[in-house]
Amino acid sequence: MLNRILYVGAAIVLGASVAQCQQKPADQPEQPGDKHIFWIIPNFRTASLPTHYTPLTAGEKFNVAAEDAFDRGTFALAAVFGGQSQLSNDNRSFGQGAAGFGRYFGAAYGDLVIGDYMTEAIFPVLLHQDPRYFRRGTGTGWSRLGYAIGQTFWTHTDSGRMQFNYSEIVGNSVASAVSTAYYTDKRTAGSAGSRLGMQIGVDTAANVLKEFWPDIERKFRRKHRENTNSFK
């Protein structure tokens, strides 16, 4: 769990750092077309803040969940999370060695996949909510940071109105409850609540990264060009 705490903290700090450098509002919102953040973290459900809102169909919501769940980045994140959990011996019944890592990896991947389907497909369809993150892309950096964090708790409905993000909170609550089936050492309400809080934190961090990733990527490219030109 430590690596997930670090992931959340790093994303928020990174967003705040970018925010300090983005005090002037942009003229136009950018179209977020990159499907991976830092070239590995899945970024399939990001869209520009719409001028005219068009809802997703039920099939499109399930397609978004599938793209996130079965992306190479999700497998990589599960390997990282599983490896860290094994190193800290979070669930002793999983054991050590290759077999133990397989159990840790499977549990971590299960967390991600179940969470994706609950928050991006099943509950958005049932509750008529939109699972996408709508990137603002304009305004001061601090206002965008606040907006990104707020989207964890506030989302579009299929009618285009704004509503409390029940899909995020209820969906992750159900996913956390389901996970007690395979976390045999951590079947208490406290452990389930801890996993719920961590998952909401990870999703919040992901929103921050989605909001600022084009800005961060631009900085990387500019730095790369400067370094390349310095060697000419």
What residues in the chain have per-residue pLDDT under 70?
Answer: 1-33, 224-232
Query: Taking a C-beta distance cutoff of 8 angstroms, is the pair 140, 23 a contact?
Result: yes
Q: So what's the pLDDT on residue 184?
A: 84
Q: So what's the pLDDT on residue 50?
A: 79
b/e burial code for range 9-28 (CB count within 10 A of at least 16 → b): eebbebbeebbeebeeeeee
Q: So what's the pLDDT on residue 68?
A: 94
Check: pTM over 0.85? Answer yes or no: no
Calpha distance 32→30 (Å, rounded) = 6
Percent of the chain residues past pLDDT 90, beyond the cut: 56
Query: Taking a C-beta distance cutoff of 8 angstroms, is the pair 3, 80 a contact?
Result: yes
